[in-house]
Chain A
Amino acid sequence: MTRIGFLINPIAGMGGAVGLKGTDDKVEDALLRGAEPQAKNRAKITLNFLKKSKDLIFFTPSGAMGEDVLREIGIHDVQIVSHPANKTTALDTKIAVQNFIERDVDLILFCGGDGTARDIFDVVGRNVPILGIPAGVKMYSAVFAIDPSTAAKVVLMPGAPSYRDSEVMDVDEEAYRAGELKTHLYGIARVPAAAGKIQISKQVFEESDEERAKGEIARFIHEIMIPDVLYILGAGTTTEGIVRELGVNKTLLGVDAVKNGKTLAIDIDEKTLWALLENGHEIKIIISPIGAQGFILGRGNQQISARIVRRVGIRNIIVVATPHKLRETPFLYVDSGDRVLDAEFGNTVLVVSGYRMAQRKPIYQPQRG
Chain B
Amino acid sequence: MQTKILLDEEQIPKKWYNVQADLKSPLDPPLHPKTQKPIGPADLSAIFPMELIRQEVTTDRYIDIPEEVREVLQLWRPSPLYRAHRLEKFLKTPAKIYYKWEGVSPAGSHKTNTSIPQAYYNMKAGMERIATETGAGQWGSAMSFATMLYDLECTVYMVRSSYTQKPYRKSMMHVWGAECLPSPSTKTNAGRAMLEKDPDTPGSLGMAISEAVEDAASHSNTNYALGSVLNHVCLHQTVIGLECREQLALVDDYPDVVIGCVGGGSNFAGISFPFAGDKLTGKHKDVDIIGAEPASCPTLTKGLFTYDLADEAGYTPLLKMFTLGHDFVPPSMHAGGLRYHGDSPIVSRLVNDGVMRAVAYHQSEVFDAAQTFARTEGIIVAPETSHAVKSAIDEALKCKKSGEAKTILFNCSGHGNFDMSAYDDYYSGKLVDYEYPDELIKESLARIPKIS
Query: Could you tell me which A residues sit within 8 Å of B by CB distance?
Result: 201-202, 204-206, 208-209, 212, 220, 223-227, 318, 323, 326-327, 330, 350, 352-361
The 7 A-B pairs at the shortest CB distance, nearest first, are namely A205-B332, A224-B444, A360-B433, A358-B437, A204-B164, A360-B435, A205-B161
Q: Which of A225, A327, A357, A361 contacts B296 (CB 8 A)?
A: A357
Kindly list chain A residues whose C-beta atoms are within 8 Å of the C-beta of B421: 201-202
Kindly list chain A residues whose C-beta atoms are within 8 Å of the C-beta of B71: none
Kindly list chain B residues whose C-beta atoms are within 8 Å of the C-beta of A208: 200
27 intermolecular pairs with C-beta atoms under 8 Å apart:
A202-B428, A204-B161, A204-B165, A205-B165, A205-B332, A208-B200, A223-B444, A224-B440, A226-B444, A226-B447, A227-B447, A323-B432, A327-B432, A330-B429, A353-B434, A356-B324, A356-B436, A357-B434, A357-B437, A358-B434, A358-B436, A359-B433, A359-B434, A359-B435, A360-B295, A360-B433, A360-B434
Kindly list chain A residues whose C-beta atoms are within 8 Å of the C-beta of B164: 204-205
Kindly list chain A residues whose C-beta atoms are within 8 Å of the C-beta of B295: 360
Is the C-beta of B430 less than 8 angstroms from some C-beta in chain A?
yes
Interface mask (B247-285 → A, CB under 8 Å = 1, otherwise 0): 000000000000000000000000000000000000000
Please state if A224 and B296 are interface contacts (CB–CB under 8 Å): no
Kindly list chain A residues whose C-beta atoms are within 8 Å of the C-beta of B296: 357
Kindly list chain A residues whose C-beta atoms are within 8 Å of the C-beta of B432: 206, 323, 326-327, 359
Q: How far is the CB of A210 from chain B (nearest CB, A)?
A: 12
Kindly list chain B residues whose C-beta atoms are within 8 Å of the C-beta of A360: 295, 362, 433-435
Q: Which of A318, A326, A357 contacts B436 (CB 8 A)?
A: A357
Most A CB within 10 A of own CB, among B332, B425, B434, B435: B435
Please state if B202 and A350 are interface contacts (CB–CB under 8 Å): no
Closest to A316 in B: B443
- How many B residues are at the interface, by size bracket? 20 to 34
Q: How far is the CB of B430 from chain A (nearest CB, A)?
A: 7
Please state if B441 and A356 are interface contacts (CB–CB under 8 Å): yes
Chain A binding site: helix, strand, loop or mixed by DSSP? mixed
Report the separation of the CA atoms of residues A209 and B202 in the bound assembly, to the nearest whole angstrom: 12
Report the separation of the CA atoms of residues A357 and B437 in the bound assembly, to the nearest whole angstrom: 6
Q: Which of A205, A212, A225 contacts B444 (CB 8 A)?
A: A225
Most B CB within 10 A of own CB, among A208, A326, A357: A357
Report the separation of the CA atoms of residues A350 and B165 in the bound assembly, to the nearest whole angstrom: 26
Is the C-beta of B60 less than 8 angstroms from some C-beta in chain A?
no
Kindly list chain B residues whose C-beta atoms are within 8 Å of the C-beta of A201: 421
Kindly list chain B residues whose C-beta atoms are within 8 Å of the C-beta of A355: 329
Report the separation of the CA atoms of residues A301 and B64 in the bound assembly, to the nearest whole angstrom: 67
Report the separation of the CA atoms of residues A353 and B330 in the bound assembly, to the nearest whole angstrom: 12
Most A CB within 10 A of own CB, among B295, B331, B425, B447: B331
CB-CB under 8 A for A202 and B424, given A357-B434, A359-B435: yes
CB-CB under 8 A for A350 and B435, given A204-B165, A318-B440: yes
Q: How far is the CB of B433 from chain A (nearest CB, A)?
A: 4
Please state if A352 and B437 are interface contacts (CB–CB under 8 Å): yes
Is the C-beta of B328 less than 8 angstroms from some C-beta in chain A?
yes
Kindly list chain B residues whose C-beta atoms are within 8 Å of the C-beta of A209: 200
Closest to A209 in B: B200
With A350-B437, A357-B436, A359-B432 given, can you name 11 additional A-B contacts, CB distance below 8 Å? A201-B421, A202-B424, A205-B165, A205-B332, A212-B200, A226-B443, A227-B447, A330-B429, A350-B435, A358-B435, A360-B435
Report the separation of the CA atoms of residues A355 and B325 in the bound assembly, to the nearest whole angstrom: 13
Kindly list chain B residues whose C-beta atoms are within 8 Å of the C-beta of A202: 421, 424-425, 428, 430
Kindly list chain B residues whose C-beta atoms are within 8 Å of the C-beta of A223: 444
Closest to B198 in A: A212
Closest to B332 in A: A205
Q: How far is the CB of A188 from chain B (nearest CB, A)?
A: 23
Report the separation of the CA atoms of residues A220 and B436 in the bound assembly, to the nearest whole angstrom: 12
Q: How far is the CB of B194 from chain A (nearest CB, A)?
A: 15
Kindly list chain B residues whose C-beta atoms are within 8 Å of the C-beta of A323: 432
Kindly list chain B residues whose C-beta atoms are within 8 Å of the C-beta of A358: 434-437
Q: How far is the CB of A167 from chain B (nearest CB, A)?
A: 22
Report the separation of the CA atoms of residues A127 and B436 in the bound assembly, to the nearest whole angstrom: 36
Report the separation of the CA atoms of residues A82 and B165 in the bound assembly, to the nearest whole angstrom: 48
Report the separation of the CA atoms of residues A359 and B332 in the bound assembly, to the nearest whole angstrom: 12
